[in-house]
Amino acid sequence: MPSSFTIARCELCPRRCGAARGDDPSAGRCGMPALPTAARAAVHWWEEPCISGPAPKESAAGGGSGTIFFSGCTLSCVYCQNAPISHQKFGRTVSIQRLADIFRELTAQGVHNINLVNPTHFVPAILRALERYRPPIPLVYNSGGYERVETLRLLEGAVDVYLPDLKYREPELAARLSGAADYVERACEAILEMARQTGPMQLDSAGIARRGTMVRHLVLPGHTRNSLAVLDWLKEQLPAGCYVSLLFQYTPIEGLERYPKLTRRLTRRECSKVLEHLLELGLTEGYVQERDSAGSRFIPAFDLTGMM
């Protein structure tokens, strides 16, 4: 059993559930202990080009994103592709020292960055691990966007690149599909705080992000109106120099019968409609994903690689 680490009253995420989190899975919304729990720590090639760099066949040794997929989640997205770790909470709990060692091991593989996926509920543990080993490469905070500004301020100076989602501009949709009626308000506040901390995107000579904020939006089938509203907000509110990543990779999972719009892939017409709006708004700094990026082949194996 990893050495003990406790949170007496957890208020890290907008749920502010007040759960006592110790060695065992908690009664809190995330269902996680205080110590970091993850299902995979490995080189990952399928993020945006400025995060992962060129695909393996185009690259010499090294490269990719050193990605840690944390378990548990503060959201309840019905369409989540990482359901085994987010909903079913599969993963391995490790000590603070082991997390620091994982940072070191990934860095030694020549990755472009250390990429923390869904890290919100483990922020105190991550900060303690960084005290033991601070990687000499950028630290990426990759989240669903449902954050408390107060928690993000604990990370100022530690995170180099923020990679949040902005999933919704319709609170009703956020409540129905992700169980968070306050998602829109919290995510918008969080993104502005992230952008304040990092300033505009800075790339190195190879086009890899060194510092900055890039906001992701996954287009959902049957909900292009929501996507257009997200892009409108980004145009109006996102500070200059922040990137936008428009994603068309939505892949239906099992169990979505109650949400018939989500049981299919995006149509070409839906993709074109949202892309045209992005271009009309001039949101051309960032990344636009191809429609054929959808599919389960891009979902990593959650098999405890790198966690032992």
CA-CA distance, 74 to 124, in Å (whole number)?
A: 16
Would the pLDDT of 35 be above 80? yes
> Using one digit for the tens of pLDDT, what is the confidence trace for 69-108?
999 999 999 999 999 999 999 999 999 999 999 999 999 9
Question: What are the CB-based long-range contacts (under 8 Å, 24+) for 150-156?
Answer: 150/11, 151/12, 151/13, 151/120, 151/123, 152/190, 152/193, 152/194, 152/197, 153/193, 154/123, 154/124, 154/127, 155/123, 155/127, 155/197, 156/197
- pTM score: 0.96
Q: Which two tokens stand for residue 261?
A: 């719009």
Residue 2 pLDDT level (bands cut at 50, 70, 90): low
Q: Which residues contact 88 (CB under 8 A, 6 or more apart)?
A: none
CA 7 to chain centre: 23
pLDDT at 25: 86
Would the pLDDT of 1 be above 60? no
pLDDT at 291: 78
What phi and psi, each to the nearest 5 degrees, are found at residue 247? Answer: -110, 130
CA-CA distance, 226 to 172, in Å (whole number)?
A: 11
CA-CA distance, 117 to 251, in Å (whole number)?
A: 19
- The position carrying tokens 């900055």 is 212
CA-CA distance, 63 to 105, in Å (whole number)?
A: 14
DSSP secondary structure, 210-228, as one string: EEEEEEEEEPPTT-HHHHH
Q: Which residues contact 36 (CB under 8 A, 6 or more apart)?
A: 70, 93, 94, 96, 99, 122, 125, 126, 129
* Least reliable range by pLDDT among 21-25, 128-132, 199-203, 211-215: 21-25
pLDDT at 3: 59
- Asked whether the CA dihedral 52, 217, 143, 72 is positive or negative, the reply is negative
- The position carrying tokens 């669903």 is 144
Burial-class residue 184 by CB neighbours within 10 Å (0-12, 13-18, 19+). buried
What phi and psi, each to the nearest 5 degrees, are found at residue 13? Answer: -105, 170
First CA to last CA distance, the chain = 13
pLDDT at 293: 74
pLDDT at 294: 67
Q: Burial letters for 72-108: b for 16+ Cβ neighbours within 10 Å, e otherwise?
A: bbbbebbbbbbbbbbbebbbbbbbbebbbebbeebbe
DSSP secondary structure, 181-218, as one string: TTHHHHHHHHHHHHHHHH-S-EE-TTS-EEEEEEEEEE
Nearest CA among 106, 188, 111 for reference residue 146: 188
